[in-house]
A = this chain, B = another copy of it.
Amino acid sequence: MKQIFLLVALAAVAGVVAVTVYTSRVTAQQATPVFVTQIPTGYRDWRFISVAHEEGSLHSIGAVLGNDVAIKAYREGTLPFPDGTIIAALHYQHVPSEENNRIFGRQQSFVPGQPTNIQFMVKDSTKYAATGGWGFGHFADGKPGAEAAMKTCFPCHAREKARDLVFTRYAP
C-alpha cells in the first residue's frame, strides 16, 4: 500500500514538473521571437516567384524565389502557406547599366548592382509560433541581422494577414 502511494505521488510530481516545463517553454516561445540564423541551403537554385523594385530609402532591385513547397502553394493558391515553405528575397543595389545604355543609345536599363542582403521567410508553425508561424531571416555578407532590426519584420508583415503575412504575389 505504502509502495503504491509512493509511486502515485512520484508520478504526480513528475507530471507537474513535465507540465510546468512544457508550459514555460511554450510561453517563452510565444513571448520571444525566434529568427532564422542560418541561410537555407540551395536557395539560389529555387524557382522564380516574382521581382521587386524598392525605392524610398532602399534603391534596391530583387528577385523572390521559392522552394518546392512555396512554389506549389503559390500555384495552387494554398493559404496559409504550409509548414516547410521557404521564400527567399535576393536584393541588389538598383543601378543603371552603363554598358547596356551605351548599346541602346539612351538611358534605359537598370540592373542588379552589388548584392545588399538576402531575406528569408521560413514557415514552421511550431518553432515560429510567436511570429505568425514565420521565421524571418536577413543576411548581409552572410551574417544574420541584429536582433533589434529583426524584431521589426513581424509587425510589418503582420499587416498582410489576408495573404498569410506574405507581400509578394506570384508573377505569371
Contacts and interface: CB of A to CB of B under 8 A. Distances in A.
Interface string A106-132: 111111100100000000000000000
Contact of A110 (B53, B63, B109, B171): B53
Contacts of A9: none
B52 A109 contact: yes
A110 to B, nearest CB: 4
A141 B46 CA distance: 26
Interface string A88-101: 00101010000010
A169 interface: yes
Which among A53, A58, A63, A109 has the highest number of chain B CB atoms within 10 Å?
A53
Contacts of A45: 47
A90 B171 contact: yes
